[in-house]
Structure formats: C-alpha cells, structure tokens
Chains A and B, each alone.
Chain A
Amino acid sequence: MMRVLKIAHSATLPRLAVVAIAGLGLAGCYDNAGDPKVQIGANPVLPPLQQYLIPPIRIAKVVSWGKETPTVPQGLQVQALATGFEHPRTLYVLPNGDVLVVEGNGPKAPINRPKDLVTGWVQWLAGAAGKGGNRITLLRDTKGDGTFDERTVFLDHLNSPFGVALVGQDFYVANTDAIVRYPYQEGQTSITAPGTKLTDLPGGPIDHHWTKSLVASPDGSKLYVGVGSNSNITENGILAEYERAAVWEVDRASGAHRIFASGLRNPTGLAWEPETRRLWAVVNERDEIGPDLVPDYLTSVRDGGFYGWPYSYYGQHLDPRVQPQRPDLVATAIAPDYALSSHVAPLGVVMYGGTDLPAGYRGGAFVSEHGSWDRSPLNGYKVVFVPFSGGRPSGQAQDVVTGFLDANNNARGRPVGLAVDRSGALLIADDLANIVWRVSSKASEPLHDSAESK
C-alpha cells in the first residue's frame, strides 16, 4: 500500500504541481498587441483567438489637461466649449443651434461573480466610474460668435440617459430602461413638463451595456435604438440577452417595436449616411480573446441583418465561449463593413454634412474612440475620420483629434459623443475631463477665449 502511495507521490503529484505552477506563471505574461493599422478597413487581419487565466489589462493613468488641449491637423483649431460637466456622453444640436449635453453614467453594476469585484476596481482606476449627472445641460450661443455663453439645465432627474432625438415638437430621451417623450418648443431652455413613456427598453438588474443610442428616421415616423448586450459573451446567460445586442425600430406613434437588426454586441452610435439614406452604427465587439480580437467596427445596418454576436464574429469566426452554438444563425452572419481595430471602443459617430471644416471631410464619418483598457499598447483615445464615397467607406481612417493620451500614455481625456454645431464645427464630449471640445477651421470665425465659457 505504501509503495503505491510512494509511486503516486514521486511521479504524478510533483509533475502535476509543475504543470500547475507553470500555468500560473504563464498567466502573467502575454505577447504585446500587433499593429492596429492591419485591422482598419474592410478586411481586418484576425489572429487566432487566445484564452487567458488573466486577460491583458492596461489602464491609462488619469491626468489633467492642465492648460493643454487636444491636437488637431493644420488648418483646424480646438477649444474647450464648456467645462465642469458630470460625465458628458452624448451631444445633440437643436434646430435653433442650442447644444444639448447629455450627462450620465451607468447604474451600479451587481456583483454576480467574484470577477465583478475586480471589474469594478478596473473601471474605477480608468476613471470610468465618475458619477453621471442624470441630466441634460443646454448651451446657447446668444451672440452667434461661437461662444456658448448661456447655460441651463434642460432636463433633470433622468435615469442613465444616453441617446436623444427631436422630431417636430417631440423630444425623446433614451434612458437606460425606457424612451421618454417630452414636449419641446423651439427656444425653450428647460423642460419642466412631465415626460410620457413611449416604450420600455431592456434595463436592469444586470444592464451590463447600459447606453441606449437613439436616432429618428429621416421621415420622423420611427426611432432607432441601439441596445447593447447584457454581457461580454453571454456569461450572464442567454436569457439575459432577450432583445439585446440589437438595433430596435420603435414606431413613434404606438411605441411598438421590432428588432431591426441583431447580433450587434454594443451599438453605441447610430447615424444616417446622407447619400444612400442607410442606417450606420459603430459597434463595440467582444473582449478577453486577445489584444487583437475582436476589432470594433463601423457598419451599415441592414433590415433583418444578423451580425454574429454572440456566436461568431466577422462572419463565421466561431466563439467557443458560447454554448449551445447556433450554426443556423452563424451561416447568415454578416461581416461588418469597416473595422476600426481592436478595443478602440467607438462610442460616437457623426456623418459630416457641414461646411466649416475642409471639403475633404464632407460626406464622411467622424468616429470617436473612447480608448482601450484591455490591450497593450493602448489603442483609440482619439477621433478618426473615415472617408465615404457612394455611401461606402472609401479609404484608410485618418486621425483627426488626438492628444487624449499624453506623451507618457496617461489619459487626459476620453472622447465620447460627437455632433456638428450649426456653424459646422465638430463638437466632442470628453467624459474623463468633463469638457466639451469644439473643433473648427482656423479660417472660420475665431472663438473668444474659452475661459469665458468655463
């Protein structure tokens, strides 16, 4: 009997111990991420997927802008339009030129697994845990000189708002759990009338991806809502994903909805392409299978289209973390139009129809990249421009607004919502520094000292 024990002790157990310890050791080291450039465009390079004991985490240290501003190409200028917000996310320009700043952050995430404790800590370190204002602030340029000198609380006591849209005199707010309609008269600086719920949206108690992006159809009859998934990759169960990871089409008259497109993990920004009048979205793809997987993307959203999540990515690339698989759905999965590279976290998209910025930007898409936390080196932390022609992306994305990371890769800001103001300048919400930036042509009417608007 003892001989058996001795054999077990001398052979099997130490070998197992060596494997276990080697496995633990490996957990700490992984290859650096590849060049993001090969993952931008219609045909991104997709490396084989990896699974980790500890997935890569790289959080940029948060520092202040000080007196500095983001960097823009020659011929453009950037200034702080307004500061001191509470987690500004979405920007919206009303017909009279007033700018709305939607200030919100997600509801408190439940602790379902031990890992959620770590996730909460990572978000706090990244400066993503800032309190959301749960309100919308209105900025008005009373002199018409590009300085927004009047500031009022437009709507307050909202519930993690993100998307907003105005159709005629109906102003819609996409809270995390419902679309609410408010009456709006042109020139109003605050809404005190109570809201009317148009429809519920998938909210808590998990509400992993809480943002609900919103646009109205060009004819104003429908609203399109980007509803993110309730998990990274179904770890909260497939039932928690009911009607999520989808773009909803909501009838404005009745509030009835249908799933317009599905398999879009987190469609955080929606915009109409002006030439073809098709709906486009920026989508945040899945994490924890490598620093170069899966590239986030910009895509046209087809009626009835399925874009892969959770079962597959970029068409038919299967994700083994999803069980049971759905080969029937995977067979129909559409590969997105334009990859933006991995983990850049696109949160805003706007098709540029203004005239202030140089002509090269006309008709193309500006995309804000909030920035990565799970790859090294960091990726994103900038606003890029994707040129369009004939209603399709037509070339390499260009960096337009950079400097959100300083020379030491510390984060000074993180871009979120984008909008084009009435003069054609590009507005950028920075939810880390709580600033709204304004990018305009140097040739255009100069802004006064931005300190005035502080």
Chain B
Amino acid sequence: MTIHSPGRNTPDRMDLPFSGEPIRPILLSFPIAYFTAAFVTDLAYWQTAAVLWETFSDWLITAGLMTAGFAVIVFVIDVVRGKRSRTLAWPHAVGYVLAVLLSLLNAFVHSRDGYTAVVPTGLTLSALVVVILLIAGWAGRALIARRREGADL
C-alpha cells in the first residue's frame, strides 16, 4: 500500500508553517502554557490564600521547566544536525531563555512555605514571565513576517 505524499523538499511543503520541524513548536507550547497557567493560579492564590492554588503553581512551574528542558534538548539536536528554524527568530530565543531563567528563580521562590511563596515575589515573577513570553511571541512573529515579505518581494 502506498500513500501519495509530496516530497519533503517540494516548494509547497516548505511554505507550511511547521515545515521540517514537526516536534519543536509543539514542545515549546507546553512550557508557555504551563508558565501562563501558573500566573493564573498565582493570581487565584493571591486573591484567596487557598493553598490549593499555590500547590498548582508549584507543579505548573516545575512542569514548565521540565518541558522547557525537553525543548532545549530537541533544539540542540536540531542545531547539531544543521537544521535551521523557520519559525524561530532571535526575539523568541532571547524571550524564551529569559522566561526559563526567571521561572527557575520562581520555582525556588515558590518552594518557600506559606504566603510569601507567592506574594509578592512569586506572583511578580510569574507575571513578568507571561509578559516576556507575549512580547517574544509577538516580536518574533513580526520579524518572521517581515523576513517572508522580504523574501517574497
């Protein structure tokens, strides 16, 4: 049984957004989602002081760091294999590295016992990470769009 599929290097395929890198964008979406969710649960803890939300934040930040670690491993493998990303631009890279470093710091802040695990430092760091991810995502996309425009012209 054979299935017709376009060759890997046909121009059609090249224009698809995840072309040639099916795993990394999916991997990257995990830490982004976890860190954003941690900000939400931090907000909930700040408002309620219910320890459930702080526990959520702890695990979400930890899961974000672990999945970010996987993404880094995949990225390094790609770089070693000489693959260049078409969906990643330098604002992404700078933003993601910063977000992970701040989240690592945040994991230690969140390991404190009681209210000061979140308020004010933990909550501030969680918010900062979300802001950085938003800026990085938007700026990176804008840069790639400009590059593509330039290429098409």
Q: Tell me the A residues contacting B by CB distance below 8 Å.
A: 1-2, 5, 8-9, 13, 16-17, 20-21, 23-24, 27, 51-54, 112-115, 118, 231-237, 288, 310, 319-324
Contacts and interface: CB of A to CB of B under 8 A. Distances in A.
B98 A9 contact: no
B58 A115 contact: yes
B102 A112 contact: no
Interface of B: 49-52, 54-55, 58-59, 62, 91, 94-95, 98, 101-102, 104-105, 107-109, 111-117, 119, 128, 132, 135, 139, 142-143
Nearest to A237: B51
A236 B62 contact: no
A234 B114 contact: yes
A113 B41 CA distance: 15
The 4 closest A-B CB pairs, nearest first, are A321-B114, A323-B115, A53-B108, A235-B113
B114 A323 contact: yes
B91 A9 contact: yes
Contact of B115 (A113, A236, A320): A320
Contacts of B55: 112-113
B51 A236 contact: yes
A13 B94 contact: yes
23 contacts: A13-B132, A16-B132, A17-B101, A20-B98, A21-B101, A23-B105, A52-B112, A53-B108, A54-B108, A112-B55, A113-B58, A114-B62, A118-B111, A232-B114, A233-B113, A235-B113, A235-B117, A236-B51, A237-B50, A237-B51, A288-B112, A321-B112, A321-B113
A54 to B, nearest CB: 6
B98 A5 contact: no
B128 A16 contact: yes
Contact of A322 (B59, B105, B112, B114): B114
Nearest to B57: A113
B28 to A, nearest CB: 19
A236 B58 CA distance: 13
Contact of A8 (B62, B111, B135): B135
Contacts of A8: 135, 139
A52 B143 CA distance: 40
Given A20-B102, A21-B101, A113-B59, 13 more contacts: A2-B143, A5-B143, A8-B139, A13-B94, A16-B132, A17-B101, A112-B55, A114-B62, A235-B113, A236-B51, A319-B114, A321-B117, A322-B115
